[in-house]
A and B are shown apart, each in its own frame.
Chain A
């Protein structure tokens, strides 16, 4: 039995009268890959934010490796060894690629080790040719890739990615898939995603969100062929 790295129990988030996240019970094992899907406003991004500390849930609890982390600040969550990538690219635009990655590495390593780590990540993500370029001058796909570098340089045991494939070219998505596969040898990964193509290419288990709650949780093929899920996506009454 693998270790449970992330667990939420009856996680609820309300904004005024709107319940964006409704009683979500969720479990993730070590080195598991899980995709969170659902139509717009299904609550998957709210769930993501509650887990990463960007929001503090109204009710319910979040546990990481057995410790309660409900209501922690994002920096405290990240310090546990959790890599987080937000929906919009969150990078330091006027610093270079290697400087960006160095800052992420420095949190978990000494100066000397950080320098080595940066070289390693730049190598692994094939960023060598742009290592000295300011982030602000890069294309969207490259920025996404750099951010993935930031997220993984600290050797996280849990990686949370919010729409990593958004706005990327087919070639970039392919490269992203390889990177994620490789990540899975060391960490558990949660991906919040719209792009069904991308999910099909990497996913095993999928959690479907609908109206703030978990609609179903199964292997990707089962989910895709499920009539309720299809209805939800096509906007019919479930």
Chain B
């Protein structure tokens, strides 16, 4: 067990490093950076939905919260290290409070959907209406629908003059994603992760075993929000402006689509789904024949109907079918692939 874990981490690092090194040869780093950021955002929902069975309709809210926290803090502090940390912590705290309210209330999936969706809308409406000069936090004006421009972007910790941008920013984001991926892998291997998987499968049984299901779901929800917040901060620093569209329904819908297309119950699926669809959108944006939203919607409908488990699990199944049934070690992963929402 211990040996195989070490090997797993090593494989991830080697594979990840190779990708980080190779990708800039096919696409410019500015585009790659945003794909990586979206990948991280996809992973944040993939973790709580695919492995914890929590379907959040408002993952975009934590993304936006992270971005706004970063922007506001960066204006006030004039450097980026503390804002980065705050952008992780504040969405996590927000999610912990929201999650505790929902999970201790034993709300079912649909109501969870309603509440997360509604909270996102509240944030969207509120931020949109803060154009007036009276809405200030420290030195930062919230700016309403205009958003917040002109804040300090990422710098080398301790040296606000040394900006990280261009290629170096790409490497920062890529390494950050790799670290988050390792963290998620470690989490899922830990007792906490295995119990989370049990909760996804049968909440009642896990609570009859003596585990506090509500507390565990709240923690998992907060971890997902923290990752989304980090992605938001990286996004803010990449785009150099934050706007209320981060909180829009379309943004949250997109995250869900990434997870479905990539494959729930896998770690790599949501990242692939996010990067792949975002890249496709980018390419489609260069033509005007077919509307982008239409294609996104069509993809979601088709996947729900015909490939509800997503691409990565389908490929994994295909791979196993071709190579025969595989060793017991391989089949161990099959249950991680199953959809959390079936039944």
Contact = CB atoms under 8 A, between A and B. Distances in A.
Instruction: Indicate yes or no for A touching B, C-beta below 8 A.
Output: yes
B195 interface: yes
Given A75-B213, A107-B211, A94 B198 contact: no
Contacts of B212: 73, 75
A92 B198 CA distance: 6
B205 interface: yes
Interface residues of A, number: 27
Interface in A98-121: 99, 102-104, 106-108, 111
A84 B205 CA distance: 9
A108 B202 contact: no
B201 A95 contact: yes
A74 B208 contact: yes
A228 interface: no
Interface string A65-82: 000000001110011000
A219 interface: no
B207 interface: yes
Interface in B200-229: 201-202, 204-213
Contacts of A103: 194-195, 198, 206, 209
A75 B208 contact: yes
Contacts of B275: none
A94 B207 contact: no
Nearest to A105: B209
Contacts of A84: 208
A106 B201 contact: no
Given A74-B208, A78-B208, A154-B210, 16 more contacts: A73-B207, A74-B204, A75-B213, A90-B208, A91-B202, A92-B202, A93-B201, A94-B201, A95-B197, A102-B194, A103-B194, A103-B198, A106-B191, A106-B194, A107-B209, A107-B211
Interface of B: 191, 194-195, 197-198, 201-202, 204-213, 328, 332, 335, 338
25 contacts: A52-B208, A73-B207, A73-B212, A74-B204, A75-B210, A75-B211, A78-B207, A78-B209, A78-B210, A79-B210, A86-B204, A90-B204, A90-B205, A92-B202, A93-B202, A94-B201, A95-B197, A95-B198, A95-B201, A103-B198, A104-B209, A106-B194, A107-B211, A150-B205, A150-B209
